[in-house]
A and B are shown apart, each in its own frame.
Chain A
Amino acid sequence: DVKVTQSSRYLVKRTGEKVFLECVQDMDHENMFWYRQDPGLGLRLIYFSYDVKMKEKGDIPEGYSVSREKKERFSLILESASTNQTSMYLCASTLGREGTDTQYFGPGTRLTVL
């Protein structure tokens, strides 16, 4: 059974703070993704990674960076958090590198930036 975990379910940070969101998958998956989910906007891709130390921009990368030092771990970094980054953040992974592979999601981190 695929397990994708995220470091926190809820997080409250202040404007300007550096924020780290971590995602870990235990099934040796190749691709990992970070999305944000906002009401009425669906799931929007921030960044994804198809290999260790590799990253690709998604549709809304501004204000975010990522790190993938180990295959099982993909971190999302908010260098200087702003209130418009208050959102639900979802991590996902896929077994292979094909876009048709099933995405397995983590439980999400609800981030509030005050």
Chain B
Amino acid sequence: GENVEQHPSTLSVQEGDSAVIKCTYSDSASNYFPWYKQELGKRPQLIIDIRSNVGEKKDQRIAVTLNKTAKHFSLHITETQPEDSAVYFCAALGWGTDKLIFGTGTRLQVFP
């Protein structure tokens, strides 16, 4: 089955810097890759997603890139702000399944 690895586990950046979180997946047939953000004490929420027929997707300060050949996808946050501090989870949907396989999470801390 699908396996998703996520790095780094923790990331600290200065406010205004960029942050990049990377995930790799094992099932080459996976076709959908969402990112969820979980602020401290709150529930995870979808922030952006990408499908396998697209190489990049942007939404204001966040973007996701997908490299199908290498089987990895990344979350990019530019001009980070303290409210970006959270745990970020990547996920992959295997072909023919209804289950998301989540990565282990990245705790991002943005220092003022």
Q: Do A and B bind each other?
A: yes
**Known contacts A48-B99, A50-B98, A108-B43, A99 near B93 by CB under 8 Å:** yes
Cβ contact of A31, chosen from B36, B45, B49, B98, cutoff 8 A:
B98
Q: How would you classify the secondary structure of chain A's contact residues: helix, strand, loop or mixed?
A: loop
How many residues belonging to B are interface residues under a CB distance threshold of 8 Å? 24
Inter-chain contact B99/A44, CB cutoff 8 Å: no
**Known contacts A31-B98, A50-B98, A97-B98, A42 near B43 by CB under 8 Å:** no
**Known contacts A48-B98, A98-B98, A107 near B43 by CB under 8 Å:** yes
Contact with A along B1-41 (1 / 0, CB 8 A): 10000100100000000000000000000001010100000
Residues of A within 8 A of B (CB): 4, 31, 35, 40-45, 48, 50, 58-59, 90, 97-100, 102-103, 105-108
